Amino acid sequence: MASEVTAKRLRVNGIVQGVGFRPFVFQLAEKYSLNGEVANTSSGVTIHIQGPDAQVTAFEADLTANAPPLAYIVEISGEPQPIGEFDNFAIVKSKNESEISTLISPDVSVCDDCRAELFAPHDRRYRYPFINCTNCGPRYTIIDDIPYDRPMTSMRHFQMCADCQAEYDDPANRRFHAQPNACAECGPHVALYDSAVNRVACQDSILEAATLLKKGYILAVKGLGGYHLAADAANADAVRRLRDRKMREEKPFAVMAYDSIAIRRFADLDEVEEEILTSIQRPIVLLRKRASADMICPEVAPRNKYFGVMLPYTPLHYILLEQDFTALVMTSANLSEEPIAIDNEEAFKRLGKIADYFLVHNRDIYLRSDDSIVRYTAGSKRFFRRSRGFVPVPVFLRNKLPQILACGAELKNTVCLTKRDKAFLSQHIGDLENAQTYDFFRLTVRHLKRILDIQPEVIACDLHPDYLSTRYAEEQRALPKVRIQHHHAHIVSGMAEHKLDGEVIGLAFDGTGLGTDNAVWGGEILIAETHKFERAGHLGYVAMPGSTAAIKEPWRMAISYLQDAYGPDFVDLGLPVLDSIGNDKLAVISQMINQEFNSPMTSSLGRLFDGVAAICGIRNRVNFEGQAAMELEMLAADTAASGYDCAWERENGFLVPPAPIIRAVVADVQNNVSPAEIGAKFHLTLVQLFSDICDELRREYGLDRVVLSGGCFQNATLLSGMIRSLQARKFDVYSHEQIPTNDGGISLGQAVVAAAVYEERFA
């Protein structure tokens, strides 16, 4: 008995263009012998499909279950249609070219099919380092303008040969409309140079590069989103030289290893971490060092429990890593905190004193994109940096917003552009502290506006007048501007990610953000809504002697907290940290605090971490922001039997005075309790105090949703402790999973707040 014939129109919404979706639909229709057509539209693709009922149902099931790896389906809607005049299935041109969607795929790692061809001696692309297909390869970093077609990418300089063109034109081929399609005949090539820009004569540039790495040289290697500096991770001398030349004393270097087997020799890797590591986005994943990790030299990640590890993600990486390295250090090629180098000329100029050799290629990178960094904590993937592989996949929002440009914070800057129900976070731009990074910021704004086709109606920025991102916003005189308090933006970024509306309790813990009272906030308890917030409580204020100098020198915070807890008598406590500072400096800092000279008041939890770390003798100075706090976390035992006995107070809201915590820490230091135990007790104390306050707030406001945001939640002990404790008290807890909890995620919150405020103010 023949089944009923039906016809349907399916609208597929999401990232389904330039990712091999139409050929996939075409092949699926053939598989089930169905007729109809598929076309691109402004929001995705539309499919007309007709044939026997059962076949159509099977087709629909397959459509979601087996979509191509780069496709990101948001939703599929279907409606019945009259049976049409179709005697086959066809890929048709979009009916209105101007309506083409602007969703662009991120750059992703080389796929298994391409990798198999790469190492197949008889394949025409054997060992060709730019092999790619519709399922893999560069996208975001090579696009100059929309629509995403070859002439709009850096592949425009390469004319496809007949073989490549035939693949490109064949809907049944894996390279149908693969814009970066190329081969050794017609595509880009690599070349090896020394630091004086002399071409190194050799048979095979990549093999020669591997040999040089084995000899201990430092190489600049051009990748997907920029240059890496590479060194043999087993060679302590090479890694030390790299640190010296890059002026990076202690910040951990990421490493790249060939596969999971190689990684398991030096790091623990569970199933979920392996899944994240091998995902097509190929982020750097923080993995616990193994006890016997001595084949990787300690200089790679000193005083850290973790290695940042990634797998190869370009064909070039695979050819290089195949040469039997335990791992290669692969760190962003920049000097200190400048943006990563992408251009060949620029690389020679800027990296000439760091790299001994340069492995370059002639496929231009239009937009730099650093490696993304994640850690699996408290049941989820947590971003330290969301960049290559993830950008420009949007965060899908609860409501449609006007077109907004949010300029982000100062450190770990990203910008955010919104369009309808999508928020596009930029790649990691960096710390807006030098001209190069500011140039990159402006370039990124221009570029994103163009490729996303967004003309902002509103501009959002931080309250802080001195951030370069705020100054940029000030310069855009034609646009209405909304200034947003830093911690409000943090909490709303968490609300936006989880599509929350209404009032929530927000715990915003970080290093620095300007408050509405001009103090430096960072240990904040907010009752937040999208358009407004109330400060329900905070960590008690102490002075930051020397202002930003106190961030670089945690010993200053130690003095401030000690003086706050003990008054002038703190000098007699006999603490090792005081001896290490010396009496002269002690007196100067003490006086600065007393005279309120260049000593803004702060409620920052990040500074409390720094102060406690210094009092425990962990370190007096930091080489990068948050280092002392991180080392306190690294040292801390995983659990403590109990926290310190401290209480919150009430005066115009909830106050967590630091003095009782400091006195408890000092008593432990005096009793020779180990920093590991002090660290564990300190974390637990914070968790208990803030959970108790959330209980009080629930009673008063009837709220049981808590949003956690801010850079302090990069700390796994604090994050998982807070989540566990609040969930045990039956709160719904929301933490960041799609965007970073640090200032890299703040632009999303700014955009969403600005939309709500703008609506109230102007609409």
Say if residues 754 and 482 touch (Cβ distance below 8 Å). yes
Angle subtended by helix axes 746-762 and 486-497, to nearest 10: 100
Q: Which is nearer to Zn ion, 81 or 165 (CB)?
A: 165
Segment lying near Zn ion (by CB under 5 A), choices 110-118, 149-157, 454-462, 607-615: 110-118
Q: How many CA atoms lie within 13 A of 295 on its CB side?
A: 13
Minimum Å distance from CB 679 to Fe ion?
22
Q: Which is nearer to Fe ion, 643 or 745 (CB)?
A: 745
Minimum Å distance from CB 682 to Zn ion?
49
Segment lying near Fe ion (by CB under 5 A), choices 91-99, 110-118, 399-407, 502-510: 502-510
Number of residues that bind Zn ion (CB under 5 A): 10
Which of 164, 296, 520, 575: binder of Zn ion (CB under 5 A)?
Answer: 164
- The tokens for 697 are 């707030």
SS3 132: coil
- The interface mask with Zn ion, positions 167-186, x = CB under 5 A, is ----------------x-xx
Give the strand order in the sheet containing 44-52.
72-80, 5-15, 44-52, 35-41, 89-91
Residue 510 binds Fe ion (CB under 5 A): yes
Cα separations (Å) of 428 from 174, 406, 413, 514, 558?
31, 14, 6, 22, 32
Answer with the entry of Zn ion, Fe ion, none that 191 interacts with (C-beta below 5 to 8 A by kind).
none
Q: How far apart are CA 355 and CA 414, in angstroms?
A: 28
Among positive and negative, which fits the CA dihedral 670, 673, 675, 680? negative
Residue 273 binds Fe ion (CB under 5 A): no
Residue 743 binds Fe ion (CB under 5 A): yes
- The interface mask with Fe ion, positions 513-542, x = CB under 5 A, is x-----------------------------
**How many other CB atoms sit within 10 Å of the CB of residue 400?**
11
Answer with the entry of Fe ion, Zn ion, none that 164 interacts with (C-beta below 5 to 8 A by kind).
Zn ion
Say if residues 13 and 74 touch (Cβ distance below 8 Å). yes
Q: Which is nearer to Fe ion, 107 or 510 (CB)?
A: 510
Cα separations (Å) of 690 from 420, 528, 656, 728, 737?
37, 16, 8, 14, 22
Which of 114, 415, 628, 694: binder of Zn ion (CB under 5 A)?
Answer: 114
Answer with the entry of Fe ion, Zn ion, none that 743 interacts with (C-beta below 5 to 8 A by kind).
Fe ion
Q: How far apart are CA 205 and CA 220, in angstroms?
A: 13
- The tokens for 207 are 């093999």
Cα separations (Å) of 10 from 4, 48, 462?
19, 6, 43
Minimum Å distance from CB 422 to Zn ion?
27
Say if residues 116 and 133 touch (Cβ distance below 8 Å). no
Minimum Å distance from CB 661 to Fe ion?
21
CA 752 to chain centroid: 19
Residue 338 binds Fe ion (CB under 5 A): no
- The tokens for 309 are 């590890």
- The interface mask with Fe ion, positions 718-737, x = CB under 5 A, is --------------------
Q: Where are the beta strands (DSSP E) in 351-408?
A: 357-361, 373-377, 380-385, 395-401, 404-406
Q: Which is nearer to Zn ion, 133 or 327 (CB)?
A: 133
**How many other CB atoms sit within 10 Å of the CB of residue 133?**
20
Which of 45, 133, 373, 680: binder of Zn ion (CB under 5 A)?
Answer: 133
Residue 111 binds Zn ion (CB under 5 A): yes
Q: Provide CB contacts within 8 A for 595, sequence distance 6+.
A: none
Segment lying near Zn ion (by CB under 5 A), choices 148-156, 157-165, 516-524, 639-647: 157-165
Q: Which is nearer to Fe ion, 644 or 713 (CB)?
A: 713
Q: How far apart are CA 324 and CA 380, in angstroms?
A: 33
Segment lying near Fe ion (by CB under 5 A), choices 121-129, 435-443, 512-520, 557-565: 512-520
Say if residues 193 and 200 touch (Cβ distance below 8 Å). yes
Segment lying near Fe ion (by CB under 5 A), choices 204-212, 239-247, 507-515, 559-567: 507-515
Q: In sequence order, what are the beta bridge partners of 395?
A: 423
Q: Which is nearer to Fe ion, 510 or 668 (CB)?
A: 510
Q: Which is nearer to Zn ion, 178 or 632 (CB)?
A: 178
Minimum Å distance from CB 484 to Fe ion?
12
Please give the DSSP secondary-structure letter assigned to residue 342: -
Answer with the entry of Zn ion, Fe ion, none that 111 interacts with (C-beta below 5 to 8 A by kind).
Zn ion
- Which residue has tokens 């790619």? 132
φ, ψ for residue 307, nearest 5 deg: -110, 140
Minimum Å distance from CB 301 to Fe ion?
25
Residue 19 binds Zn ion (CB under 5 A): no
Residue 224 binds Zn ion (CB under 5 A): no
- The interface mask with Zn ion, positions 357-396, x = CB under 5 A, is ----------------------------------------
Q: Which is nearer to Zn ion, 69 or 402 (CB)?
A: 69
Answer with the entry of Zn ion, Fe ion, none that 183 interacts with (C-beta below 5 to 8 A by kind).
Zn ion
Say if residues 220 and 261 touch (Cβ distance below 8 Å). no
Segment lying near Zn ion (by CB under 5 A), choices 53-61, 112-120, 233-241, 723-731: 112-120
SS3 396: strand
Answer with the entry of Fe ion, Zn ion, none that 602 interacts with (C-beta below 5 to 8 A by kind).
none
Q: How many CA atoms lie within 13 A of 455 on its CB side?
A: 1
User: Can you give the binding site for Zn ion, defined by CB under 5 A?
Assistant: 111, 114, 133, 135-136, 161, 164, 183, 185-186
Binding site for Fe ion (CB under 5 A): 510, 513, 743
